[in-house]
Chain A
Amino acid sequence: AQSVTQLGSHVSVSEGALVLLRCNYSSSVPPYLFWYVQYPNQGLQLLLKYTTGATLVKGINGFEAEFKKSETSFHLTKPSAHMSDAAEYFCAVSSYNTDKLIFGTGTRLQVFP
């Protein structure tokens, strides 16, 4: 079975500050891990994904995430927040033998000027 836990339903940062959104997963098979972002009134968009290979994954809009197997984590970071980063962020897990994504509850990111 697979599951995802996102710590913090709301995160607030100042513009220019570091963004850190936490995601921990549980998986009985090697996981595939994803971050999706949802801007107001839009669908979910893929930010980045990890399947195999390099554990530090870079995505769109300056975001990156690192797969840490020992910590069962896949935290999302961005060095410097921008006002346009305000959105809901979803972590998700899957694996090689399924097409189904298991999502976390999401983290709403607010960016203050």
Chain B
Amino acid sequence: EPEVTQTPSHQVTQMGQEVILRCVPISNHLYFYWYRQILGQKVEFLVSFYNNEISEKSEIFDDQFSVERPDGSNFTLKIRSTKLEDSAMYFCASRGEGQLNEKLFFGSGTQLSVL
């Protein structure tokens, strides 16, 4: 089965630094998402992206966050100035054309640790 790939699997950064989390969605997919899970808490929606623009975003996704599809294959999440509370597992997901709530394919996540 095709896979969503996320790199790196684990990233450590200092508070205040910028980080970019990278994702390669499944090649013919058009809808892209970022979710995150703080240790012991729920998986939370951050943002959805379609046709080179944000479709929906949560309250968490403030001005410190941005997403980009810089080329035809990558989908990135940038955190401009990381905070301790940004430490979490970040999941990228994608899906193909079709109705809302069609099957999402998730990557295995990037564990971000902010020190």
- B42 in contact with A98 (CB, 8 Å): no
B106 in contact (CB, < 8 A): yes
B105 in contact (CB, < 8 A): yes
A-B contact count (CB 8 A): 63
Least CB distance, A73 to chain B, in whole angstroms: 18
- B109 in contact with A99 (CB, 8 Å): no
Which of A32, A43, A49, A94 is B106 in contact with, Cβ under 8 Å?
A: A43
Quick one: closest B residue to A103, CB to CB? B43
* Cα A19 to Cα B20 with chains together (Å): 40
Least CB distance, B42 to chain A, in whole angstroms: 5
> How many residues of chain A get a CB closer than 8 Å to chain B's CBs?
26
- A43 in contact with B109 (CB, 8 Å): yes
Interfacial residues of chain A within 19-67, with CB under 8 A of chain B in the complex:
32, 34, 36, 41-46, 49, 51
Residues in chain B near residue A105, CB distance under 8 A: 40-42
Which of B35, B40, B91, B100 is A99 in contact with, Cβ under 8 Å?
A: B100
- B43 in contact with A99 (CB, 8 Å): no
Least CB distance, B100 to chain A, in whole angstroms: 5
12 CB contacts below 8 A, A to B, read A34-B101, A41-B108, A43-B106, A46-B103, A97-B100, A98-B56, A99-B55, A99-B101, A102-B45, A105-B40, A105-B41, A106-B42
